[in-house]
Amino acid sequence: MSYMVNDRLFWPGGKKKCLTLSYDDGVTQDIRFLEILNKAGVKATFNLNPGLFGVEGTVAAGKKEVPHIKIAADKILETYRGHEIAAHGQLHTSMFGMDPARCTYEILKSRNELEKLLKKPVTGFAYAFGACDETIVAATKASGLRYARTVVSTHRFDIPQNFLLWDATCHHNDEKLPELTEEFLSDDPYFSFYSPAKLFYVWGHAYEFDQDDNWDMFEKFIDKVSGRDDVWYATNGEIEEYVRAYRNLIFSVESDYVTNPSSIPVWIGGVFNSEILCIGPGETKELPPKQNV
């Protein structure tokens, strides 16, 4: 005999699916990328290097050489309106092997410069080149950031246990993207001890669509996943904030009652129970009886 408590995380509105995107470098190709997202009502997080605003260059990295032109500082607010801006290091420096002071400076300076521009706190980060070791992660935490994205693909829809080592589901060029898209949109149960709710996280660089001539692939992907009532379209920061509110819920010893001390509503339910409970800010509610599984 085993019992399941009805205390698992569900997305806002009781939804079981969430889509988020994360794109790096703040290049001019983001303008076309954003036109696609805005038309579809999909949100994304853009990871920027304030020390490189307006710098013009090219990028090849073993592929076709294409422009790599950073959006100018005076265009940032207008370009990314309605989406999230996160830090990506001041100068997109690989911090592998650096001492804690230099790592913290590279991270914290980028956060500070973005906050001056946005006039609000910046909570997110993406590791330049995917470089993250214990020193870099510690520096990210010391810089007051709440989440940081790696370049590891899980090919799963799990909610991260450590938001400072946030692995994505996949890159947009991953050969498994079509298969993962179908699995995400399916209503088949998703097995995870932590939560039956799915988190589909896709990342990349918008200039890669020029390199690979596959803008149409991305447009078809967005057309397929957008406009659905059963999906929460969120930025990275919105997801971290919501999961943090869930993790701050206070449960009674016997899992009969729950209190939400945060300022945002949180939805919870059971793996095998269709009843989903919304606990509003400051509310205490009784949980449904435990299930014998």
pLDDT in tens, 235-284: 999 999 999 999 999 999 999 999 999 999 999 998 877 789 999 999 99
Say how far apart CA 9 and CA 84 lie, in whole Å: 23
* Judgement on whether residues 206 and 250 belong to the same structural domain of the protein: no
Say how far apart CA 25 and CA 205 lie, in whole Å: 7
Asked whether residue 2 is assigned to any structural domain, the reply reads: no
- Residue indicated by tokens 């260059």: 57
Mean pLDDT score across all residues of the chain:
96
* Judgement on whether residues 117 and 259 belong to the same structural domain of the protein: no
* Judgement on whether residues 104 and 225 belong to the same structural domain of the protein: yes
Asked whether residue 147 is assigned to any structural domain, the reply reads: yes
* Judgement on whether residues 191 and 49 belong to the same structural domain of the protein: yes
What is the per-residue pLDDT for 274?
76
* Judgement on whether residues 155 and 56 belong to the same structural domain of the protein: yes
What is the per-residue pLDDT for 61?
83
Asked whether residue 52 is assigned to any structural domain, the reply reads: yes
- Count how many domains the chain has: 2
| Structural domain for 111, as ranges | 15-244
Chain centroid offset of residue 57 CA? 28
Asked whether residue 221 is assigned to any structural domain, the reply reads: yes
Query: What value, to the nearest 5°, has the Cα angle with vertex 238 and ends 235 and 239?
Result: 90
* Judgement on whether residues 19 and 116 belong to the same structural domain of the protein: yes
Low-confidence ranges of the chain (pLDDT < 50): none
Asked whether residue 10 is assigned to any structural domain, the reply reads: no
What 8-state DSSP symbol labels residue 27?
B
